[in-house]
Structures are given as C-alpha cells and as structure tokens.
Chains A and B, each alone.
Chain A
C-alpha cells in the first residue's frame, strides 16, 4: 500500500487501537518493555531481539503500561504545522474544483475535479483526526490559515495557493478558458503541496511519526502524479490537432 496511516484515538481511553503512528512511541516502547520485562537481561535494546511470545502476566502489564505511554508521540512542531497547513491548502483546491459544473468545464476537467474533491475531502478528515488525537487546534476546512495579528484577522497562504486575484480570475472564466485556468492554477497549487512536503521532510525530527511520514509521502506521489496528468490535459488544450 502507499497508504495514509491512521492514528489512534486519545482521550480517556487507555487502549489505543491499531496505530502505526504510535509504533515509534507506543509500539517501540511496548516492544522494549515486553522484552525487557520478560527477563532478557542482556537486552539493553530491543532491536533485532526475537522472542517467542507466550504472554506472561508481566508482559501484559508492560504492554498496558506501554499503551498508556502511547500518547507521548515524537511529533514535532513541523509535523503539526504541516498537518494544519495542508488542511487550508486542500480546502482551496476543493473550492476551485467545485466550480467545474457551474463554469462550463469539459467532461475531463469535471472528472478531474470530482476526483480532487473526493480525495482531498477524505485527506482533510485524516489530518483533522491526527490533530484531534494529539489535542492540537483543528483548523476548519477553509482556504488558507487564519491568523490574528494586531487584532486583525489575516489569511496566510501556503505555497502554491491562489491569490485573491487568481481566484477571482478563475471564478470569472467559463468553458475552455475555465479549463485552461483551472489546470494552470491547479498545477501551481499541487506544486505548492509538493514544496510543503519537501520542507517538512527537511526539518529536524520531522516525519518520525509514521502517519505523518506516510501521509506526506502520499501527498507527494499523488499530487506529482496528478500534476503529470494535468500537464497532459493542458497540453491537449493548447495544442492544435496533429
């Protein structure tokens, strides 16, 4: 799979089901504790140790302890900024894509837009869940990132996002002109997402959380693949028939 991984739920529950995100924190801790408590005295580290588990009481206790430790996950501010920022980034793509049916888009652009809406709506839910699980502020799915400075609310744009003027241009376009502008702007928009991934993975300590790593890798490959597809569509739009 190239999949987005799911993080566990937080809150009052001790048991946190199935989370790749916590392999680093809980998973690794659980493994370490299980082996250590099981009496592998020489196991100063768990890595590469093997065991044939017949869970003893102490192992289960260790595991439960590890689970309660699971909320301590090694994510960084860069991870949080990426997951928050990408929500507003995706939200703008959805606004753009939703114009397709009312702006006379061709059927191929409409299909592309349907896919973008479907994919990015699901991804926003995943990012919001990740943030919620870590008790981080969860941004609404609205374009950009709202920031209050000096009592004034500003909307910060992430890389590749369309300016107000560009959005107006797109909204005013119809038919083939809309197709062309949408593809042009969506390529710019997707390239911005790829830039955000690059910035994230170049930050110290970032992407250790496997959910974030996989999500970022997926955004990278999915959007790069879509850029290639959109470039082909755009090429067909501007080329005279051969």
Chain B
C-alpha cells in the first residue's frame, strides 16, 4: 500500500493539468469584463478571450471580401463556408493554416450549406439569385432564370464542384436541414424553410400566395427527397402543413389545443345567451366588458337611453362578426385567422431520438420525424419575451432543447445595456414525455456597443461528456461558451470577442456561427473570415474533459442535422467523469484520489494486468455509487471504465 505522500504525489501528478491545478489558476469570470471597451477595427480590433485560445484567423479571400460569410458545414478535413457571393471550401488539415481550395462564385442570400457524402447543398432565396449562378441578378418579376430553392453540387472533386441539380421552391430556401434517415440508405431528405414571400405562380406553377387557399404556399415546409445515386432527380415529395390549428396563448408552456374543453365552454355560453364571434380559429364567447360598451353605443345610436333592448342586442349580434373581423384585420373572404406561423426559420433534426426542433416565427416546435417525409408537430411553445424563433439545439440525451430568438433579425444591436436579458436570448426547455417545459434564459452576459449587431445566433454542443456545454455565435457580441446542464441557471464559462468593426457606425459583422468539429471550434466571421479556436483548461472545464471531447470524431457535420455524441472508451473519459465528481463533491475525495491512481497505473500497464485493474476499479465504483452524492455519475464512470477494460 502506498504511503499518503505517494498517493498525494501521484494524485497531483495525474491531475497536473486537470481540475485541482486549474481551479487554483482560474476561478470566476474576469472582472471587470475585458469585452468592454475593445478597440474597433477589422483585422486590428481589440480582442478579449477567456478559457479559449485562437488557433488561427484566416481573412476572407480577396475575391469574396466585402460579401458576407454565412453558415458552415464540414466534411472530412474540409470546412465549407457559405457566403452571399457563393461559398468557400477550406482545407483545415493544418488548423494553424487553413488553405482555400475553392471559392465558388454563385451570389445569393444566404447560401446556407450542408454536406452529405459527395453532395453539397446550398440554399438560395433572393430575387436576384440566378439558376446559372450568374452575377447579373434577375430584374423581371417573373423569370425562368431565377433560382429560389436548393442547389445541389457534386464535390467529389472538391476543387471543382459540379452543379448536378436544383430544386425550385415557392418561397425559396432561407435555411435547409439535411435529414439522414437511419432506415434509408438510398436517399437523404432535405427540409426547406423559406421565410420570404412566395413567388408568382407564373414563375413556378402551384405557388399560391393567398393565405386562405387550401393549397397556399404558406403554412408549410417542403421536404425534398434526394436519391443519392441520382441527385439530379431530387424533388419535393411532400409539403407538410405542420402549422395547422395553432391557437396557443403567447406565454410559456405547452400549447394545449384542448378543443373539447373549449367546446364545452362555448355550449355553456350559448345556453346563457352570451355574445360570441369566430376568431383565432373557433367560435368564442365574448366578455361582458367588451360587449357592454358596444351595446351602449347601439342604444346611443338610436337616440335612446338606459339598458339595451332585445332589438339592440339583436342589432349588435348582426354586426358583431364584422366588428371583430375589422379589429383583427381579417381580410374579406378569410373566414378565420386561426393560423399561427406560415413558416419555420430553421429546423434542427435529431434522427437518433426521432425528433426535430422547429424555430417557427412566434413558436418553438417539437416535431416527430420518425417518418422523414411526413413530420408531425407534437408540441409547441410560445413566449411573450421572444420576437422571432430562430434555431433549435437539443442536448445530447434529448432531455432538453434550446431555442434562440433572433430579435431584430441579426442586423441590430440588441445586446446594449438597455436591452432586456430575456430579449434576443436563448430559451431553455426540458423535454419529458415529449412535452417541453420552460426553465430559463441565456443571454450573452456582457453589454455590447451600439456599433455592434448582437443577438443569439448559431451554435453547437461541445462534446464534454456528462454535461450540456454549448458554443454560440452572437454576431459582434462574439463567441460565448456556456454550461446549460442546469437549464434554469445557464452560466458562461468561456468567451472570445473583438471590438466593433467600425467606431462610427454599425456594420453587420461578427461570428455568424461557431461549431465544434473534431476537437476545435470553427467560427464563420461574417466580415473577417474563418476563425479556429480551442478550449483551454479552467475551473469550469478540465484538461481531461477537453481531451475526452476531442475523442468524438465526425466524418461530416451539419449542425442542424444533429449527430448523437458518442464517446469511445478512453482514460480521458474516465478522468473527465472523476473531475466532474470532484467539482460537484459527487464522490468522496479519497475515492476520487484512489481511482485516479488506479487509472494512472492501469494506463501504464497492458494486457491482462490493465484489464484486471480496470475491471476491479469499475466494481469498486459500482459499490461506491450507493453512498455517493452523485450516484448516477459514479455509475456512468464505472460503466465507462468497464468498457475501457473490455477494449
């Protein structure tokens, strides 16, 4: 048995770069916040960084400089970066020196990009985007030269992408989501979200613009099926109307759509002779507070005084629906205005759990995608603090969902000291029994200047095992990494920010998206180019946790096609769990120390000796779990060590 001194020495050694040491080195967020008062500039802006390290900053290539960079997709060691001028392909084999392989000219808004195997998908929506990728725009209001929809490229030869197909849609494609159905190896599906007005049916037949037409191009998403062997045959296979019958109140909580109860209430109202009118999708009883002044005005109009007569009531009943229609701005011929949103801004599919999160105008949706061509809305939440639901991210086990609010559309400075913390933020929900329950908000916790457009935007999970950690882009608010394991108390744990692009005016810039890909954070800077960063150990994230995160590797990544994070067995994984147990006092300190020691010696050993040591440790930890503060995590740790033993 080793002496206490030896145990201590080994413990310190094995965690030298881990939790113990770093908790001494780094504690709370720096104060005052170094993001305040940064020098403006494009390449020479002041920078503030905490618990991150910049690996490289690569400016937008000259030929695309001036156009806005947009979203990112990944395949192998390539990053595909959308741009309003087309898209760029970067080789990031050398993270310190990304190399431009292709700058493909094809101007359009906003060039949202995704990849799958040899295919690249690019969204287009604006009026000037051309089928032939031409630069001259399309002036005619009706033209066969316009592309609004999805472009498909074959990138087998990545330096020479080949446009192999295009799918035109009524509203264009603001964003799209590639859904890889685990049951279908022949096809992929692409969900199209179009947020601009539908085009003329003379340009694309079937594009009906009237909202009250049952075949309206509004109130639906498009599902494109792409045969992998024949991408040129990609076509719309369904246009699911996932927005029907939404009458939820503008508040947190599930939209109950409890028609039976409402029907009963209406019957009661009818029985007592209440005034009713049809709005928000159904006939509803009107309140006395609303009716009384109207009755009074009927009496007054006939020059009478006192209480309304039966004739007055009848007169009011006759015109009540018209009054309501006018108040609600219901167009003539529009019988009801039950519809909520007409579109989603973005949809994140999580095939591993058969669900998608839809950010759809004034709502956050939970969508069943078990039948890829026929997604079904199974829940909806609204929030009076939210302006425009923008995107969704699940946590890895699917027990939580985060929605962001792109208040102001991304082009406005919504992180000023005067802007509320609940506005332009993320709203965090737990999911249980496929129902969403609001827990809290997360907003960039530092004020930005009026020269910096800033609001919640695109991000992804960072695969820290056992925790919900996310990196998110906030435009000129920079990059914020936060922990939302406790969804009611999300907390920032790292950041990177630059000063404004310009000291005199607001230019639309900053990180559009930041995604974790194979060990690093890759950020699309709208005006400054491509940034690559890595996490550095801190009190909030240990080196072991970072090492474990780096063991998660993808062949490709479309963040809106959320992959299940799976950690291969590793010593880093076991140590990461131990660091977490230490941080949360989830296991007795002595047991943590002893386990670290065993892991260290097991790692030095090989074969049977290693296997036996690890198996024994796993068994001991299983026993420890019973009395531990965080039994579940101790069991997870034991399972990870057992898996490591069996490798």
Q: Give residues in A with beta carbon < 8 Å to B.
A: 1-6, 9, 16-20, 22-24, 26-32, 34-35, 45-53, 55, 59-60, 63, 67, 70, 74, 108, 111, 115, 118-119, 122-123, 126, 129, 176-177, 180, 183-184, 187-188, 191, 197-198, 201-208, 210, 213-215, 217-218, 220-222, 224-229, 231-242
Contacts and interface: CB of A to CB of B under 8 A. Distances in A.
A179 to B, nearest CB: 11
A53 B62 contact: yes
B139 A204 contact: yes
Given A27-B107, A111-B384, A224-B342, A207 B413 contact: no
The interface centre, meaning the residue of A220, A222, A235 with most chain B CB atoms within 10 A of its CB, is: A235
B378 to A, nearest CB: 21
B527 A18 contact: yes
Interface stretch (B130-138, B223-231, B486-494, B624-632): B130-138
Interface string B487-521: 00000000000000110011111001000000000
B132 A48 contact: yes
A238 B324 contact: yes
A27 B413 contact: no
A177 B289 CA distance: 10
A188 to B, nearest CB: 6
Contacts of A22: 66
Contact of B409 (A2, A35, A177): A2
A57 to B, nearest CB: 12
B413 A122 contact: yes
Interface in B400-428: 406-414, 419, 423
B506 A6 contact: yes
A225 to B, nearest CB: 4
A207 B274 contact: no
A99 B473 CA distance: 36
The 7 closest A-B pairs by CB, nearest first: A3-B410, A4-B411, A28-B135, A1-B410, A242-B265, A47-B133, A6-B508
Given A50-B160, A119-B407, A231-B279, A129 B261 contact: no
B109 interface: yes
B635 interface: no
A17 B409 CA distance: 20
The interface centre, meaning the residue of A34, A60, A122 with most chain B CB atoms within 10 A of its CB, is: A122
B196 interface: yes
Contact of B135 (A46, A51, A53): A46
A53 B61 contact: yes
B337 interface: yes
Given A2-B406, A205-B139, 18 more contacts: A1-B457, A4-B508, A5-B508, A6-B453, A6-B507, A18-B509, A27-B107, A48-B133, A50-B103, A52-B101, A74-B139, A201-B127, A220-B197, A222-B387, A228-B339, A228-B341, A238-B286, A242-B284
A213 B109 CA distance: 9
7 contacts: A19-B66, A28-B136, A29-B135, A51-B103, A129-B505, A188-B329, A242-B262
Contacts of B248: 232
Given A46-B105, A221-B388, A239-B284, A187 B328 contact: yes
B197 A198 contact: yes
B167 interface: no
A204 B502 CA distance: 34
A234 B214 CA distance: 26
A18 B104 contact: no
Contact of A32 (B103, B135, B138, B509): B135
A240 B269 contact: yes
B186 to A, nearest CB: 29
A215 B508 CA distance: 13
B212 interface: no
A239 B286 contact: yes
Nearest to B138: A208
Contacts of A108: 384
Contacts of A67: 66
A53 B508 contact: no
A115 B420 CA distance: 10
| A-side interface mostly | helix
A17 B508 contact: no
A202 B423 CA distance: 33
Interface in B351-400: 361-362, 384, 387-388, 390
Given A48-B163, A49-B105, A208-B127, A20 B67 contact: yes
A197 B127 CA distance: 13
Interface in B80-113: 84-85, 100-107, 109-110
Contacts of B319: none
B285 interface: yes
The interface centre, meaning the residue of B197, B269, B384, B457 with most chain A CB atoms within 10 A of its CB, is: B197
A229 B66 contact: no
B197 A47 contact: no
Contacts of B506: 6
Contact of B412 (A30, A126, A236): A126
B197 A197 contact: yes
Contacts of B457: 1
Contacts of B141: 202-204
B298 interface: no
B459 interface: no
A43 B228 CA distance: 31
B249 A210 contact: no
Contact of A18 (B61, B341, B526): B526
Given A6-B507, A17-B66, A19-B66, A208 B128 contact: yes
Nearest to B196: A217
Contact of B128 (A204, A210, A222, A241): A210
A74 B137 contact: yes
A233 B384 CA distance: 10
Contacts of A218: 409, 411
B126 interface: yes
B68 interface: yes
B34 interface: no
A184 B327 contact: yes
A123 B63 contact: no
Contacts of B68: 5, 18, 20
A34 B125 CA distance: 26
B215 to A, nearest CB: 19
A232 B249 contact: yes
B340 interface: yes
B409 A1 contact: yes
B287 interface: yes
Contact of A238 (B85, B104, B287): B287
Contacts of A32: 135
A208 B145 CA distance: 14
B345 interface: yes
Interface in B444-489: 453, 457, 475
A225 B344 CA distance: 11
A115 B384 CA distance: 10
Nearest to B246: A228
A208 B129 CA distance: 9
Contacts of A28: 85, 107, 135-137
Nearest to B63: A34
A20 to B, nearest CB: 5
Nearest to A239: B284
Nearest to A201: B197
A202 B142 CA distance: 9
B67 A27 contact: yes
B288 interface: yes
The interface centre, meaning the residue of B128, B261, B286 with most chain A CB atoms within 10 A of its CB, is: B128
B284 A235 contact: yes
A45 B136 CA distance: 10
A39 to B, nearest CB: 14
Nearest to B109: A210
